[in-house]
Structure 1
Amino acid sequence: MSFAALRASIRRSALATPTRAAARPALRQSAVRRFTTETPAPKKSNAVLYGGLGAAVIGGVAFYVYASSSDTAKEAGSAVRSGAQAAKAAVNFVPTKADYQKVYDKIAEVIDSAENYDDGSYGPVLLRLAWHASGTYDKETGTGGSNYATMRFHPESAHGANAGLNVARDLMENVKKEFPWISYGDLWTLAGVAAVQEMGGPKIPWRPGRIDGFATQATPDGRLPDATQGADHLRNIFYRMGFNDQEIVALSGAHALGRCHTDRSGFEGPWTFSPTTVTNDYYKLLFDEKWVWKKWSGPKQLEDKKTKSLMMLPTDYVLTQDKSFKKYAKAYAENQDLWFKDFSSVVSRLFELGVPTAQFTTSEPWIMGSE
């Protein structure tokens, strides 16, 4: 079919489809967590704006209906949805910040519901989900990143670096059922923000606008860090995303949280003694402890000589060996406030990788939770 004919078909579909105001699903009032300000009252519904978004949005909706029925048109349909999102952003389309705050509060409840999972918190695995969904970005091709949430699809969901993240995706699927209007990309990155903030870390500026894509937009394997590698590998991976040495070291501090599992990555153990609290202990331990190679049948990793209860990966230890990395790691070990500031900035950027600026529903990012 020629493009002109396709466009004519789209126009006919749009004109034949009756417009109607789309009602937002009812949102259950979540209990506001401790240390969180009262959720602001939602603004008066802007549903009437559905009818005033103009031909761009109407055409986008019509094209999406067409694209949904044609495998060959799905990528084009996703592109039009991106344009529709930009049009919505231009008129301050609902949902409001108050609506996203309710999602945040629900995620915060999920984080604390872990009980017997790992160290009693789902926070670390939710942060890893947001990180891995965003860290596939390639600045040269403009592919990957958080925009399409392609980890929902095989084979990306089965990439080695994503082992075990089905736990986090399943948790967020339950939240998605309660708030079906939020995109997966927005949901997952908001979960990463909640994880950092609810575990005592800095505020992470965040804004919505990601759209859901298709399996054809899934990224190839090998775009996420391989923990067995050294400095050159880290630079290849992070430079591809657009980060520099200082930002590589700042992002590595996320290893203050969580632990490795032999049935996932093959590695085993936590990086710090407080794996559910965001601190600069990761950097302090790198320099304060004596690290030796662990004698076991698993992949190469280090353990602290004193207690043998902590571990570091080769990609962690290289921060103390590479001259450029070391100066930043040392600075963060000595000043937690400095790391919090840099970590907040770089994580906010990480979570926006691959998202066209025009899609965001607000020009300035929000601070969710307690302010």
Structure 2
Amino acid sequence: MSAAAATGPVVDAEYVAEIGRARRDLRALIASKSCAPIMLRLAWHDAGTYDKNTITGGPTIDFVPGRRDSSVAIEEGRLPDAKQGASHLREVFYRMGLTDKDIVALSGGHTLGKARPDRSGFDGAWTKDPLKFDNSYFIELLKGDSNGLLKLPTDKVLVEDADFRRFVELYAKDEDAFFRDYAESHKKLSELGFTPSRATLLAWGCRDKAKRAVTRTTTVFAVAVAVIACAYICESKRRLSG
């Protein structure tokens, strides 16, 4: 599973101005925090995060960059309780403007990973290959009790509730439909409460150039950080030697 930026940059006056402000902020940060070596290392690692191939599989999920993480934790009890039923799931997800299809599609994320007793009180994997993103979660749900595989109460309710079950049956037989709907629901969930700026929308509006844009943008950013960091190191050495 991978995430792809939605466009290639549109270089207008506002975009250039934002890049200029970012450059000034970066220079100020490096100078005030003496973090040039760290920034140089960050640029090197950032450039090395691109994966040409992935063995996990799954859909490509478009995203629009620019959302800021909150510095304040939300109140407890906002996430679904795995011990609850259909009405609880709907209460939690409907509050966020999501639908039954979103609930089932996002539940399919359990195809990856395992539950840990120290974190959730449950233990085990939902599928036989928890390192691969596919539609096996739904296939196992329709089998009923699968030996050695985990099924939470909130998993079981997906086949017990008629409105949920129709999506389970669809995704079990049509992996492409699951990938498509999961990518759509994941994007919808990740962008809740986020209104991108005009500059961001301009910079990321060409979906047909998504993959190229990710590679190019990452490389340009890494090179820019590296150049600024190297310049600062050289300037610092020159001042010390002088």
Which of residues 17, 22, 27 in structure 2 aligns to 1:49?
Answer: 17
Residues 359 and 255 of structure 1: CA distance in aligned 2, closer, same or farther (over 3 Å): farther
Match of 1:277 in 2: 132
Moved runs in structure 1, 4+ residues, more than 6 A?
A: none
Deviation at 1:225?
A: 0.9
Residues 322 and 365 of structure 1: CA distance in aligned 2, closer, same or farther (over 3 Å): farther
Deviation at 1:365?
A: 7.6
Give distance in 2, aligned partners of 1:365 and 1:265. Answer: 41
Match of 2:193 in 1: 354
Are 1:108 and 1:198, in contact at CA under 8 Å, matched by a contact in 2? Answer: no
Which of residues 174, 192, 198 in structure 2 aligns to 1:335?
Answer: 174
Residues 50 and 343 of structure 1: CA distance in aligned 2, closer, same or farther (over 3 Å): closer
Match of 2:56 in 1: 199
Are 2:67 and 2:196, in contact at CA under 8 Å, matched by a contact in 1? Answer: no
Which of residues 33, 45, 49 in structure 2 aligns to 1:106?
Answer: 49
| Residue identity in the other structure for 1:49 | A
Output aligned runs, 1:56-135, within 5 Å.
103=46, 106=49
Which of residues 307, 318, 343 in structure 1 aligns to 2:157?
Answer: 318
Are 1:246 and 1:325, in contact at CA under 8 Å, matched by a contact in 2? Answer: yes
Are 1:231 and 1:322, in contact at CA under 8 Å, matched by a contact in 2? Answer: yes
For residues 172-228 of structure 1, give each alpha carbon's deviation from its aligned partner in whole angstroms, at most 9, with x where no partner exists: xxxxxxxxxxxxxxxxxxxxxx9xx7620011011201124433xx31111111111
When normalised by structure 1's length, the TM-score is 0.43
Are 2:110 and 2:126, in contact at CA under 8 Å, matched by a contact in 1? Answer: yes
Per residue, is there more helix in 1 or in 2?
2
Identity rate, percent: 39
Which of residues 75, 79, 104 in structure 2 aligns to 1:220?
Answer: 75
Output aligned runs, 1:191-270, within 5 Å.
199-215=56-72, 218-270=73-125
Give distance in 2, aligned partners of 1:269 and 1:347. Answer: 24
SS at match of 1:204: strand
Gaps (5+ residues) in structure 1? 1-35, 54-60, 62-99, 110-193, 292-303
Give distance in 2, aligned partners of 1:358 and 1:314. Answer: 41
Residues 334 and 48 of structure 1: CA distance in aligned 2, closer, same or farther (over 3 Å): closer
SS at match of 1:106: coil
Instruction: Tell me: higher relative CO, structure 1 or 2? Use CA pairs within 8 A at least 6 residues apart.
Output: 2
Deviation at 1:246?
A: 1.1
Gaps (5+ residues) in structure 2? 26-42, 216-242
- The number of residues matched between the two structures is 179
What's the C-alpha RMSD, in Å, of the aligned pairs?
A: 3.5
